[in-house]
């Protein structure tokens, strides 16, 4: 069972609208459905990269030995890593040289030989100057000429070392290091030792569609690694924009004869939500469609959780039970009138003496909120309760606390009397344009005069969610104690297909 169950009224529109979106209440946002189609596909071309990358900002990073060795370092557990990679059905591993001074020793002295025996290719992954702050890729740090020489020489010993990567060429100080002259030196070194060894760099969406980037770097690299994040509303929930983003990137990359490897976040990244098995499946399905057509070189799964790892307890966002209704605004400029909502048809007692509702809610925001983002409850389109999250007592910066109204919310009897059913809606509404990120949750709804199905938001399909703008993402959030294993299995099934 997935930690989160998605219910969306916009998904049916994806194939028809793609980038254009749908019109709702006079607003025409980009396509913000959670699903995404994939191109017609056949078998994967020979040489397609199906990779795993432990990542640098995840919970499940490298698998390390349980005890330090005599040098005091926790070394990469090579047998356990190889075992997990085989279960994941990958053919390539992006070995990150960063988290320990022993990583290069582990890669060159142990891992390469074990991966060769297992039939797994390897790319050495090095961090750029901007990531050499508290620690750095050891032992050569920011001497990328030495890295080029040593990695190329290692590849002559192990033909399964088929590539290497340096993260983020274009970030600030990195571009000052990776000048065309310096890149030419790197290329001359590797070509002189092993001309088959290809260099890759990360290119996020704005970079990957910028011809100036390719003009500067394409002569020196084999390809880019494109991390999909649903630009510009960075999240690991929406996949409907993946195909359109690839369709925009590929003509630029093809023009400069640059290969593209798609990176999908399947583990926690930065402040994003933990990706679900459903998200991993949808994103990988889209990517595999492009790979089968030969349009991309392959796919890398970033931060895939380890099989059997426990879920993070802080991901439980419910007050009671396992579920809650969550409204997220992923930041960026949000126009007035935009909203996200969840609705259901409720059974009404037409002769009830009064109609009331009470609820628990909390709010979390990641920067100072501005007035005008309203939590609302509506009955048949009438707002019966509203509270600004900027002043609501349940709010906090990077923290939250569950709050309930001091008394039940009284609903005007005229809205319900004489009716047998009505529409109940929870909504997060932008009464004024805003630009900050927030998370709002509801749980444990109690009513009188009408009955609500699934008042604790525990059951998939019991509420219909909707959104009128791309950075507004509603969800039924249900905690899954076995989330890491379920995500791992989703990736493994996709790569085995």
Tell whether 13 is covered by a domain: no
| Element of type H or E holding 104 | helix 103-106
Of the candidates 57, 71, 153, 156, the one whose C-alpha atom is nearest the C-alpha of residue 106 is 71
Neighbours of 337 (CB within 10 A): 15
| Element of type H or E holding 4 | strand 4-5
CATH of the domain at 402: 2.60.120
The token pair at 157 is 């010993």
Q: What is the pLDDT of residues 6-65, one digit of tens each?
A: 333 333 333 333 333 333 333 333 333 455 544 444 699 999 999 999 987 777 789 999
d(CA 396, CA 275): 24
Predicted local confidence at residue 272, as pLDDT: 67
d(CA 471, CA 468): 9
User: β-strand 403-404 against 355-365: which pairing, if any?
Assistant: antiparallel
488 and 447 share a domain?
no
Kindly report the three-state secondary structure assignment for every residue of 184-207. Answer: HHHHHHHHHHCCCCEEEEECCHHH
End-to-end CA distance of the chain: 21
The token pair at 474 is 């509603």
d(CA 395, CA 169): 39
Q: Is 398 helix (H, G, I), strand (E, B) or coil?
A: coil
296 and 413 share a domain?
no
Neighbours of 21 (CB within 10 A): 21
d(CA 131, CA 57): 12
DSSP 8-state class, residue 442: E
CA 327-333-334 angle, 5° bins? 45
User: β-strand 4-5 against 472-478: which pairing, if any?
Assistant: antiparallel
338 and 272 share a domain?
no
Phi-psi region of 93 (alpha: psi -120 to 50; beta: other; left: phi over 0): beta
Q: Tokens 């074990």 label which residue?
A: 114
Tell whether 467 is covered by a domain: yes
Tell whether 167 is covered by a domain: yes
323 and 431 share a domain?
yes
216 and 358 share a domain?
no
Predicted local confidence at residue 273, as pLDDT: 78
d(CA 139, CA 132): 12
Q: Tokens 């030495």 label which residue?
A: 146
d(CA 215, CA 210): 9
Instruction: List, for the chain, all residue ranges whose pLDDT scores fall below the cut of 50.
Output: 1-33, 37-41
The token pair at 214 is 């390719």
437 and 330 share a domain?
yes
322 and 437 share a domain?
yes
d(CA 298, CA 7): 30
CA 299-56-6 angle, 5° bins? 60
Q: What is the pLDDT of residues 254-268, one digit of tens each?
A: 999 999 999 999 998
231 and 303 share a domain?
yes
235 and 351 share a domain?
no
Tell whether 2 is covered by a domain: no
Predicted local confidence at residue 214, as pLDDT: 98
Tell whether 418 is covered by a domain: yes
271 and 351 share a domain?
no
Q: What is the pTM of this model?
A: 0.88
Neighbours of 412 (CB within 10 A): 11
Predicted local confidence at residue 41, as pLDDT: 45
Predicted local confidence at residue 456, as pLDDT: 97
238 and 385 share a domain?
no
Neighbours of 491 (CB within 10 A): 28
Greatest CA separation for the chain? 87
251 and 354 share a domain?
no
d(CA 343, CA 423): 7
Tell whether 15 is covered by a domain: no
Tell whether 19 is covered by a domain: no
Tell whether 210 is covered by a domain: yes
CATH of the domain at 257: 3.20.20.80
**How many domains does the chain fold into?**
2
Q: Spell out the residues 6+ positions from residue 398 whose beta carbon is closer than 8 angstroms to its own.
A: 364, 366
Q: Tell me if the bond preceding 139 is cis, omega within 30° of 0.
A: yes
Identify the domain containing residue 379 by its residue range.
317-478
The token pair at 490 is 């989703």
């Amino acid at each position: 069972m997935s930690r989160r169950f998605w219910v969306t009224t916009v998904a049916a529109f994806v194939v028809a609208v793609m980038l254009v979106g749908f019109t709702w209440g006079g607003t025409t946002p980009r396509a913000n459905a959670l699903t995404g189609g994939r191109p017609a596909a056949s078998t994967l071309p020979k040489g397609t990269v199906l990779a795993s990358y432990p990542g640098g900002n995840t919970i499940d990073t490298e698998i390390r030995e349980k005890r330090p060795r005599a040098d005091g370092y926790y070394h990469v557990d090579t047998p356990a890593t190889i075992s997990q990679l085989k279960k994941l059905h990958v053919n390539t591993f992006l070995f990150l040289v960063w988290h320990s001074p022993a990583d290069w020793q582990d890669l060159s002295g142990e891992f390469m030989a074990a991966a060769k025996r297992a039939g797994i290719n390897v790319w050495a992954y090095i961090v750029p100057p901007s990531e050499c702050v508290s620690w750095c890729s050891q032992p050569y740090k920011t001497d990328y000429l030495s890295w080029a020489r040593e990695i190329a020489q290692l590849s002559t010993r192990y033909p399964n070392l088929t590539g290497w990567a340096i993260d983020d060429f274009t970030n600030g100080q990195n571009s000052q290091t990776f000048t065309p002259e310096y890149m030419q030196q790197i290329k001359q070194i590797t070509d002189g030792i092993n001309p088959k060894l290809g260099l890759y760099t990360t290119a996020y969406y704005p970079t990957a569609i910028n011809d100036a980037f390719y003009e500067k770097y394409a002569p020196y690299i084999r390809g880019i690694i494109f991390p999909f994040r649903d630009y510009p509303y960075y999240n690991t929930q929406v996949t409907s924009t993946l195909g359109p983003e690839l369709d925009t990137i590929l003509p630029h990359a093809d023009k400069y004869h640059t290969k593209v490897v798609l990176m999908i976040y399947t583990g926690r990244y930065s402040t994003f939500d933990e990706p679900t098995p459903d998200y991993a499946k949808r994103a990988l399905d889209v990517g595999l469609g492009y790979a089968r057509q030969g349009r991309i070189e392959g796919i890398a799964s970033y931060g895939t959780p380890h099989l059997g790892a426990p879920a993070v307890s802080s991901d439980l966002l419910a007050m009671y039970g396992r579920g809650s209704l969550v409204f997220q605004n992923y930041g960026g400029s949000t126009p007035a009138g935009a909203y996200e909502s969840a609705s259901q048809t409720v059974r009404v007692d037409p002769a009830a003496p009064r109609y009331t509702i009470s609820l628990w809610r909390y709010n979390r925001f990641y920067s100072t909120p501005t007035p005008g983002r309203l939590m609302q409850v509506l009955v048949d389109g009438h707002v019966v309760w509203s509270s600004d999250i900027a002043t609501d007592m349940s709010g906090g910066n990077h923290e939250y606390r569950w709050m309930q109204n001091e008394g039940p919310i009284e609903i005007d009897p005229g809205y319900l009397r004489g009716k047998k059913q009505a529409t109940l809606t929870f909504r997060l509404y932008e009464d004024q344009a805003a630009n900050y990120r927030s998370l709002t949750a509801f749980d444990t709804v109690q009513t009188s005069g009408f009955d609500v199905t699934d008042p604790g938001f525990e059951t998939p399909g019991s509420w219909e969610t909707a959104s009128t703008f791309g950075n507004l993402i509603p969800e039924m959030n249900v905690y899954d104690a076995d989330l890491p294993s379920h995500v791992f299995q989703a990736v493994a099934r996709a790569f085995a297909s």
